[in-house]
Structure formats: C-alpha cells, structure tokens
C-alpha cells in the first residue's frame, strides 16, 4: 500500500504508529513481493523526533510540541480518555454511524484521510469497516495506540500547511469536532480537500457548536454554560481561530465547488432532561464528558487570550459545571454534519 503519495516524492509527516494487530490463527502472513528501496525509504526513514514526543507542560497539563501553541487544548491521558468517550457519544448520537457520505461496503472508499484524528478511534473503526481501504490519520500529537488495523497509518502533520499528498488522490476526507484548529478552515481545509479528492470523492465535516441553545425558553441569557461558550468563542477569535463554524460549513463547501452538498443538524442535550430514553442517556453522558473536560478546554484559551488568570478560570468553571446539572434548563448543543462531492470531470 502506498500511503504517502506526494508531489515531490518526499515525506514531511512523521509516521508515529508502526504496529498492527493480526489474528495469526486465521490469517496467513503473506510475503511482500515489492520490497523496493523506495517503499522502504518512505517508512524506515521517518521516525519520531524527541521534540515531537516531548510535550509542552503548562497549567498542570501537557500540550503538543510540534507547532507548539497552534492548538490550545491538552493531549494528556485525561484528555485522550475524554476524547475516546466523546467519540462513543458521537457514534451513539449518529445511531452507530461514522459517516453520512453515500458509500458503503459494496461501494467503499479506497483512500481515506482523517484530519485532526486525535486518538485515532474513528480511523481505526473505518479501517475495520473497510479492510481494503487505505486509512491515513493526521494530528499534531502522537497519541494514537500502537495496535491498529494493517490498513491504518497515523502521521504527525500540521494540516494548516501545504499538504504533501498528490492532487486527486483521496476518495473521502473527514473532520470531526475541530473546535478552532485553523485560522481559515475554508482555505486551509475545504479548498485543499477539494484539490486532493478524486473527482467524485467526498468531504464530510462533523462539527460541534459549543454555544448551547434551547427551544422552550428555559435557558436565560445569564446561564453560566452559555456565558462560558461565549467567552471561549471570543478568546478563540482573539487567537485568530474560529471556534463556532457549524453554520458556515455548508456554504464553504458550495463556494469552493462541491456539489450534492447535504447537511443534517443533530441535537445533543446537556444533562438528563430529555424524555426520550436515548437522548436522556446521551445527555447524561455528554454532561459528564463536558463537565470533566471544562478545565482542559478552557485554561489555555481563556488565560492566553481571554485575559483571565488560571485561578479565575477555575473559579468561574465551578458555576459553569453547576449550571450543567440544572435540570430546569433544557439546553442542548448542535452537531452540524455536512458532506459534499467533488464533481466528476474536475482535476
């Protein structure tokens, strides 16, 4: 499998997962008949540098060291465990689906790119679902597991820089819950995805809107979770990162040139106030996940760009957490899922 096609034959990304899991009792290990020096150079020459695996330590947490400061959330075990739980919440909310783009096991994508892969759980699931596909996950932090399907690779890359992949290469490109990763998602991600997708390929963006909303008037303007989300949005904009982008993604895809653009908006309750058992359960899971992650999500942005001391941030978060457990407030957050196709006949 050629995981790293490039315009110049080079490799700017650091590969950071090398192991695969194999059931040796039921699967014969085949000999690679193409052990060319070029393919060996691609994989054997890239390794983790100390600067990438030695994380920045601040506020009692660790942060990525590759392109330090460009992503404001931690990467320590506390956060990666939260991200894995968040993945399960998202999958349950989407009724077991990982994607909405119209492909299937009978019509599978062959080359898949997951940008901002985080702990890599989505990419690993996709590798299991589509064993003949080549799955690449990229992130600023090497926090993925060592044991992955044989068709999955992870690389340390900064997706805001020029991509190393050849144009018209991928069948499917995916992002999820990016929360202010980029200065300009339209030009840095949507446009580049268009350029690097094959004609007929799909881009899908699944984005959480952190601003809570309410349908019955039970959430007032002084609701602490709402105030927190506004503060986070203001600090993110001061950092030249747009946190709340869900309402913009569909328009960006259409403006870049994608066709057959579709959008669905899912509602994720904050807490167990919903009557429907599934949504009640999801709301309680999300309440626990978000309240447990508030400190890590908040301190970097609100201290660096919100003008608050770390002590002020933590004091304010006490009220935010308490507000999330007020069952008289029927707040929820929106998940925007947008997918679009690169037209046929466009190179």
Top pLDDT among 74 and 155 is at 155
Spell out the domains of the chain, with CATH numbers in brackets. 14-341 (3.40.50.150)
Convert the pLDDT of each residue in 110-125 to its tens digit: 999 999 999 999 999 9
**Looking at residue 166, what DSSP letter applies?**
P
pLDDT given at position 143 = 82
Q: How far apart are the C-alpha atoms of 147 and 253, rounded to whole Å?
A: 35
| Region class of 67: left (phi > 0), else alpha (psi between -120 and 50), else beta | left
The whole-model pTM stands at: 0.83
pLDDT at 15 over 80: no
CB environment 127-153: b (16+ within 10 A), e (fewer): beebeebbbbbbbbbbbbeeebbebbb
| pLDDT grade for 51, boundaries at 50, 70 and 90 | low
pLDDT at 52: 66
**What pLDDT sits at residue 127?**
97
Per the DSSP assignment, residues forming a β-bridge with 331 are: 214
Residue with the bigger pLDDT between 113 and 37: it is: 113
* Residue 105 pLDDT level (bands cut at 50, 70, 90): confident
The pLDDT value given to residue 160: 83
For 198, the token pair is: 């094959």
pLDDT at residue number 140: 83
Highest mean pLDDT among 189-203, 235-249, 294-308: 189-203
User: What pLDDT sits at residue 74?
Assistant: 78
pLDDT for the residue numbered 70: 57
pLDDT at 98: 96
17 vs 130: which has the higher pLDDT: 130
Work out the pLDDT band at 63, boundaries 50, 70, 90.
confident
pLDDT at 45 over 70: no
Q: Is pLDDT of 85 > 90?
A: yes
Over range 86-101, report the average pLDDT. 97
pLDDT at 181 over 90: no
Local confidence band at 138 (pLDDT 50, 70, 90 cut-offs): very high
Token couple for 148:
């992955």
More confident residue, 136 or 11: 136
Strand partners of residue 197: 170
Q: What is the pLDDT of residue 93?
A: 98
pLDDT given at position 345: 84
Closest by alpha carbon to 192, among 207, 211, 210, 170?
A: 170
Q: What digits encode the pLDDT tens for the residues 216-232?
A: 999 999 999 999 999 99
Enumerate residues 6+ apart whose C-beta is below 8 A from 54: 65
Residue 124: name the closest of 84, 163, 86 by CA.
84
Average pLDDT taken over every residue of the chain: 85
pLDDT at res. 126: 97
Tens-place pLDDT, residues 245-283: 999 999 999 999 999 999 999 999 999 999 999 999 999
Burial class (CB in 10 A: 0-12, 13-18, 19+), 186: middle
What's the pLDDT band for 201 if we cut at 50, 70, 90?
A: very high
Q: Do 338 and 190 contact (CB within 8 A), yes or no?
A: no
């Amino acid at each position: 499998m050629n995981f790293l096609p490039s315009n110049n034959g080079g490799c700017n990304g650091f590969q950071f997962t090398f192991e695969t899991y194999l059931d040796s009792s039921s699967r014969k290990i085949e000999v690679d008949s193409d052990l060319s020096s070029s393919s060996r150079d691609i994989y054997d020459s890239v390794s983790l540098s100390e600067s990438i695996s030695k994380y920045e330590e601040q506020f009692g947490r660790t942060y990525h060291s590759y392109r330090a400061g460009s992503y404001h959330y931690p990467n320590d075990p506390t956060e990666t465990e939260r991200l894995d739980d968040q993945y399960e919440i998202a999958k349950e909310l989407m009724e077991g689906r990982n994607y909405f783009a119209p492909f299937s096991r009978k019509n599978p994508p062959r080359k898949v790119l997951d940008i901002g892969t985080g702990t890599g759980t989505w990419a690993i699931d996709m590798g299991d679902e589509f064993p003949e596909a080549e799955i690449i996950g990229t992130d600023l932090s090497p926090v993925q597991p060592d044991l992955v399907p044989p068709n999955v690779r992870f690389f340390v890359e900064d997706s805001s820089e020029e991509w190393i992949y050849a144009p018209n290469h991928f069948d499917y490109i995916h992002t999820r819950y990016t929360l202010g990763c980029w200065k300009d998602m339209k030009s840095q991600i949507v446009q580049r995805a268009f350029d690097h997708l094959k004609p007929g390929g799909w881009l899908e963006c699944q984005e959480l809107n952190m601003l809570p909303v309410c349908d019955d008037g039970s959430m007032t303007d002084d609701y602490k979770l709402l105030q927190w989300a506004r503060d986070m949005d203001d600090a993110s904009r001061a950092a030249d990162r747009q946190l709340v982008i869900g309402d913009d993604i569909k328009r960006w895809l259409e403006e870049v040139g994608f066709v057959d653009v579709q959008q669905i908006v899912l509602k994720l309750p904050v807490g167990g106030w919903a009557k429907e058992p599934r949504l009640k359960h999801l709301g309680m899971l999300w309440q626990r996940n978000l309240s447990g992650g508030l400190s890590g999500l908040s301190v970097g942005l609100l201290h660096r760009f919100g003008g608050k001391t770390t002590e002020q941030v933590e004091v304010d978060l006490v009220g935010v957490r308490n507000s999330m457990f007020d069952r008289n407030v029927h707040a929820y957050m929106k998940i925007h899922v947008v997918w679009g196709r690169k037209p046929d006949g466009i190179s």
